[in-house]
Structure 1
Amino acid sequence: MAYDRETADRVRRMLAVRDDVVEKRMVGGGLSFSVGGRMCCGVTATGLLVRLGRDGVTAALAEPHVGPMVLGGRTLSGFVLVDRAGYATDPDLAAWVRRALALVAGHA
């Protein structure tokens, strides 16, 4: 699976103000963004992978356009996959990125 390059560029622009961002290819062809050495979010061909932690996942799964992140038949705890409709606008995408950044910052 390749990743959505347009969404990756949008995430990249949002994280450009930071100097601790590292991009890495994910298994399956996605692209992940780590901040401060911790995975924050990622882009797949079909959606946005967002790290929210176990507590954050429960609340997020009740929101529209959000589902569990399944990789290789296994649900990844602490992550959700947001469909494109859930981050169609820059403010929507920024809100998801901020949520992931808040979790990563809390684990410093």
Structure 2
Amino acid sequence: MAYDENNAQRIRTFLQYKEADFFEKKMFGGIVFMVDNKMCCGTRLDKKLNENLLLCIIDDEAYLDAIEKDDVLAMPNAEKPMKNYIFVTENAWTKKQDLEFWLQQCLDFNPIAKASKKKNDIEK
């Protein structure tokens, strides 16, 4: 699991400031922040790009706007990009205000985001 601890701390600080109910989980080769038991955002070091990426889960409209930007990548899946999931390259979130912009979009979408099914739910 490769991620920059300083960037993870920046995300933690924002979520704490917003009084979000969150915990951390190592996923996608980095660290993800679960808010209200749903994946919200995260960060990882992409070895191919040699760059820190910010994982954002955002609403449909924000996704369509974001994916047009040079510093945003669709999160790949085996068949097609994952809906609502983007990676933002580090250039677009080095400044505090830029990071807060992306993280606020994640928090805004979180209440309406679907919770992932737990293994116990799938087996029933």
Instruction: State TM-score, norm by structure 1.
Output: 0.86
1:49, 1:67 → 2: CA distance? Answer: 10
Question: What percentage of residue pairs aligned between the two structures are identical?
Answer: 28
Unpaired segments ≥5 residues, structure 1? none
Partner of 2:62: 56
Count of aligned residue pairs for this structure pair: 107
Aligned AA (1:66): V
Instruction: State TM-score, norm by structure 2.
Output: 0.76
RMSD: 2.0
What secondary structure, in the 3-state scheme, does the structure 2 residue paired with 1:76 have?
Answer: coil
**Equivalent residues of 1:51, 1:78 under 8 A apart:** yes
Aligned AA (1:23): E
- Superposition misfits of 4+ residues, deviation over 6 angstroms: none
Partner of 2:110: 104
Structure number with bigger Rg: 2
1:73, 1:22 → 2: CA distance? Answer: 30
1:103, 1:92 → 2: CA distance? Answer: 17
1:21-73: CA deviations, max 9, x gaps?
11100042x10001111111010113000001344322111123111112568
Partner of 1:22: 23
Partner of 1:35: 35
1:73, 1:11 → 2: CA distance? Answer: 30
Relative distance call for 1:14 and 1:106 in structure 2 (3 A) is same
Structure with the higher fraction of residues in strand conformation: 1
